[in-house]
């Protein structure tokens, strides 16, 4: 099927399959699925900037669907999400300008793929390392402290940061402290500049890579702020709605979104999202983090194979291998989640 905006021919079944995977895994891991969407579109041969713009569009749609589901489960900290959004929005437009400059220089494709590989590989390895360390402390048994992570000390220090000004004056209101409580996230007191700063960094990554930023935000909320895993999942999705919406608007203005491609994937994603969100009620937080680490590692491998196939003469077969790795690992993960969901429900 020919997609005129992106000027590329792709079998629609591949896009439907990718959308189904993204919806399921997005609902389960609390990410918009951008690292899979954009990575998958790059593997399918979509030009990098169109992969980013179309990826953000699908991120927006899947996040809205999944946020409503997690809201019903009580997993969304709207106050924290709103604070992060204030830093996210300006960062997205800055990243879009950087992307346009990279495209004009003719290096957008390699740069985006290299950054993807670096981020995904580093995050995946750290998450697996953290899982191994916490399990080892529990003597290899299933721990009753499923939220324990190796960065608990770092999270306490970040929460305790005192960043000036400590209060601001508003006309007609008076002085307002710049510290808030986030009871849903289990935080008694934190400077508002911490989540705003995190939002800025995530927004820049989202605009640059078209990933909604969720693939980094969810681990940041868990390992840097010490937020419970299921709350990090729901809050991440809420924040990604804004990220995806603003990013989609920015790229649509430049006509870098293929709406037909996005509509096909979103229809499939809406089906899978319900199963993914429901699965978080039946699977332990530590296992969610472990599976997430495995997933993003395989995503990094797939994008790396695609880059090698384009950079090395005679290595075109690696592009096919990248497709198999990406879709195979995503599809296999969906089947695993379905099995774990069914087992969890049967054991209740």
Prediction pTM value: 0.78
pLDDT tens digit string along 52-86? Answer: 788 778 877 878 888 887 888 888 999 999 999 88
DSSP label of 161: -
pLDDT tens digit string along 212-258? Answer: 566 788 889 999 999 999 899 889 888 878 766 766 777 777 778 88
Report pLDDT for 144: 46
- C-alpha 243/C-alpha 93 separation (Å) is 10
With H, G, I as helix, E, B as strand and everything else as coil, classify residue 33. Answer: coil
Report pLDDT for 188: 93
pLDDT beyond 80 at 154? yes
- C-alpha 289/C-alpha 13 separation (Å) is 30
- C-alpha 207/C-alpha 99 separation (Å) is 8
The β-bridge partners of 3 are 8
The bridge status of strand 2-3 relative to strand 8-9 is antiparallel
DSSP label of 150: T
pLDDT tens digit string along 87-143? Answer: 888 887 788 788 778 878 877 777 777 887 888 888 889 999 999 888 887 655 544
């Amino acid at each position: 099927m020919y997609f005129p905006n992106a000027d590329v021919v792709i079998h629609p079944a591949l896009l439907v399959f990718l959308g189904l995977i993204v919806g399921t895994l997005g609902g389960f891991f609390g990410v918009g699925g951008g690292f899979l969407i954009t990575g998958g579109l790059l593997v399918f041969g979509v030009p990098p900037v169109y992969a980013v713009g179309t990826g953000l569009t699908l991120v927006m749609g899947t996040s809205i669907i999944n946020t409503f589901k997690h809201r019903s489960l009580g997993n969304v900290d709207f106050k924290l999400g709103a604070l992060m959004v204030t830093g996210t929005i300006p960062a997205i437009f800055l990243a879009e300008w950087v992307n346009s400059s990279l495209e004009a220089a003719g290096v957008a494709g390699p740069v985006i793929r290299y950054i993807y590989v670096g981020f995904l590989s580093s995050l995946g390895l750290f998450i697996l390392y953290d899982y191994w360390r916490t399990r080892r402390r529990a003597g290899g048994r299933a721990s009753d402290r499923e939220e324990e992570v190796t960065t608990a000390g770092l999270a306490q220090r970040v929460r305790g940061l005192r960043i000036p000004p400590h209060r601001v004056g508003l006309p007609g209101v008076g002085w307002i402290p710049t510290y808030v409580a986030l009871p849903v996230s289990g935080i008694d007191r934190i400077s508002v500049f911490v989540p705003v700063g995190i939002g800025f960094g995530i927004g820049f990554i989202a605009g640059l890579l078209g990933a909604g930023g969720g693939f980094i935000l969810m681990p940041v909320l868990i390992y840097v702020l010490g937020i419970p895993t299921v709350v990090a999942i729901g809050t991440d999705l809420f924040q990604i709605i804004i990220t995806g919406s603003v990013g989609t608007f920015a790229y649509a203005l430049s006509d870098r979104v293929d709406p037909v491609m996005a509509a096909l994937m979103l229809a499939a994603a809406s089906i899978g999202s319900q199963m993914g969100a429901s699965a978080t009620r039946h699977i332990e937080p530590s296992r969610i983090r472990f599976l997430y680490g495995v997933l993003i590692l395989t995503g990094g491998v797939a994008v790396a194979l695609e880059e090698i196939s384009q950079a090395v003469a005679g290595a075109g077969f690696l592009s096919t291998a990248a497709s198999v790795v990406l879709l195979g690992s995503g599809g296999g993960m969906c089947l695993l989640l379905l099995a774990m969901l069914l087992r969890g429900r049967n054991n209740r």
